[in-house]
Amino acid sequence: MAENWYVAVNPWKRSQDKVAFLQLVNKRKSIRKYSSRPVPREAIERCMEAARLSPSACNSQPWSFIVVDDENLRNKVSEAAFSPPYSLNAFAKAAPVLIAVVTERSKYITLVAGFFRGIQYSLVDVAVACEHLILQATEEGLGTCWLGWFNEKKAKKILNVPRRKKIDIIISMGYPESDEPRERIRRPLSKIRRYNKEGL
Domain containing 139: what range?
31-175
- In terms of phi and psi (left: phi > 0; alpha: psi -120 to 50; beta: otherwise), the region of 196 is left
Q: Is the whole-model pTM more than 0.85? A: yes
For residue 10, name the pLDDT band (cuts at 50, 70, 90): low
The pLDDT of residue 15: 67
In angstroms, the CA 177 to CA 159 distance is: 28
User: 21 lies in a domain?
Assistant: no
The pLDDT of residue 5: 47
pLDDT, average across residues 170-184: 91
Pairing of strands 143-147, 97-103: unpaired
User: 141 lies in a domain?
Assistant: yes
User: 61 lies in a domain?
Assistant: yes
The pLDDT of residue 7: 52
The pLDDT of residue 181: 79
User: 66 lies in a domain?
Assistant: yes
User: 14 lies in a domain?
Assistant: no
Contacts of 11 (CB under 8 A, 6+ apart): none
The pLDDT of residue 184: 85
The pLDDT of residue 78: 97
**Secondary structure class of 26 (helix, strand, coil):** helix
Of 105, 100, 119, the closest CA to residue 168 belongs to: 100
39-97 residue pLDDT tens? 999 999 999 999 999 999 999 999 999 999 999 999 999 999 999 999 999 999 999 99
Of 173, 192, 195, the closest CA to residue 33 belongs to: 173
Of 164, 126, 125, the closest CA to residue 146 belongs to: 126
Residue 1 has pLDDT above 60, yes or no: no
User: 117 lies in a domain?
Assistant: yes
The pLDDT of residue 52: 98
Identity of the amino acid at 154 = K
Q: Mean pLDDT, the chain, as a whole number?
A: 92
User: 197 lies in a domain?
Assistant: no
pLDDT, average across residues 140-169: 97
User: 50 lies in a domain?
Assistant: yes
Give the CATH number for residue 165: 3.40.109.10
Identify any residues that bridge with 65 across adjacent strands, giving them in sequence order.
101
**What's the domain count of the chain?**
1
- Whether the CB-CB separation of 91 and 144 falls below 8 Å is answered with no
- Whether the CB-CB separation of 132 and 51 falls below 8 Å is answered with yes
For residue 182, name the pLDDT band (cuts at 50, 70, 90): confident
The pLDDT of residue 167: 98
